[in-house]
A and B are shown apart, each in its own frame.
Chain A
């Protein structure tokens, strides 16, 4: 695919807009692509990046990533016109809400991007959204205005430098009448969310992250366990989105 834009969104977060040949119609929110770094010689493992936005009409695919090492640093240096090898869409994305009513969307850090495509889809389907986005501090914050198009947005930072101070769970009143929760972010956040809503009548979905090799389900590198720990599930194939009941966090 062709790079259209590669823009820095915050301290270490970049948005990569791609165009060109891609099965845009097949992609759903919560799925990911596996992107080759360079010619793959120095970096044999592709980088799994969640789909932040996919637009079949304009033929654009947006991937948002955090620069953490050599591979993502190389990616951050790509310019418009550069060609990238993109494999996807892969994995199982967010299912549609089973019940009407207000949907809760909670993202943390680099877990925020896949929720953008989700919010876009749910907004278009007429769902009312309550969106909570958590970051470490104000330098990490991105896309809060973009999300506001689809629902009311609450921003939290751990140090209180922007929005509410504290973790996302502190901004969530369990007595509100939310029917479905979609979340993506660090595992402690996902765990805290599940505990926060324990016993409440809310359907919860989490998008999990793990180091991957093949990205297609062949190598069993990125597994997680079911709640009783008796069976493994491949995050790249059966996930990355799971319901609370399907996995142990």
Chain B
């Protein structure tokens, strides 16, 4: 989005520049954009700086109290087992949980989304299948949490999953009550809610691939698998990267579903960074510590967003 030629012509004198500014409707441009700019500066830019400053403070009672430098970050990364515990194997803590989320949630959503996008185009009830998979996208993570808490209920008279296990002769498992299963159980619930997004994007991309190319490959004797592997998959790389970025951003921010399903439990086993931030700040009243976690979140977001904006700039050039 380079400046269009003639947008800001380097005028010879300040006066002519100002005259030009007026002539070009500069005031009007500002008038139209000013409400947005004021809101963003007051309620976003300034608060971000404030939070960065708070992350260098004890921040007790959510106020500036005592400047402590990078102490909060040091404690978070080296001395807080709830946040990052590298002492055992496998490593543990909220940050590690987020990494588990990124790997499992993202890959499961992509695989299921791709599978359904590819298969659904081959049947007549395509739109019905797609609607069924996609509907969970619309509902609140709070509702997703309730729906799946019900599925996972340890009581086999309530939870359908444990009823099935009992039906096959197994013992009911407290999916959300055990540290070893809780993360996977929540991740799968969230995959259920988001795979439809991957499916819709990838399916739209698949439809964009010329049918003539595919038919030509078929007449040349290509199998369905060849067609997917050699034609469709390579052309899907851009939409797959779009979906991946979206899913990863979603994971870094994941909060609602964990708050409602487990509140980070049992024993903090299902905490993620966004949950720890909320917990430390608003339940623990440790403003500085919470702010440091928020800053870590921001640092995680920057490379992803930079990639995103770069991609959109290149697309804008194409337009």
Q: Do A and B belong to a common assembly?
A: no
